[in-house]
Homo-oligomer: A and B are copies of this chain.
Amino acid sequence: MQTRLTSIGDGRSLIHVAGQISREGDKVLTGRCPDQVSVDEATRRARLCALSVLSQIDAVAGLDSVLEIIQVIGFVLSAEGFGEQPKVMNGASDLLVEVLGAAGKHTRAALGTNALPFSATVEIATVAVVRSS
């Protein structure tokens, strides 16, 4: 499933969102940063992941109900020695704040890895809090 809602009292729920990989429509956006995909393009792909996160939250709870994004864990498909994952992940972080304002600010772990599903460039997992009543 794409989302799980867990009540934490006061009419609020945690929402865990499944890992969202970089896609454009039905097409997975693949390739390693920076030798196969530039930092700028990877950053754009992280932004697309964040849009998918918002889309998943909207489908189950409505974007208006978001009280705060708590945590974003982001993985960038990385060549060895690549260390600009924070810059790439800013694509996701900036989008969340553009759409949600202060509620979109979040804690983040930016990480690299040598392998992701379907060789996607970026994957992010997210936890947020929404109004549930």
Q: Which residues of A approach B to under 8 Å, CB–CB?
A: 1-4, 6-10, 14, 16-19, 68, 70-71, 73, 75-76, 78-86, 105-120, 123, 125, 127, 129
How many copies of this chain does one complex carry?
A: 3
Alpha-carbon distance between A108 and B4 when the two chains are bound, in angstroms? 10
The winner among A3, A106, A107 for most chain B CB atoms within 10 A is: A107
A110: chain B residues within 8 A (beta carbon): 19, 117
A85: chain B residues within 8 A (beta carbon): 115-117
Closest chain B residue to A88 by CB distance?
B117
Pairwise interchain contact B73-A107, C-beta atoms closer than 8 A = no
A70: chain B residues within 8 A (beta carbon): 4, 6, 14, 16
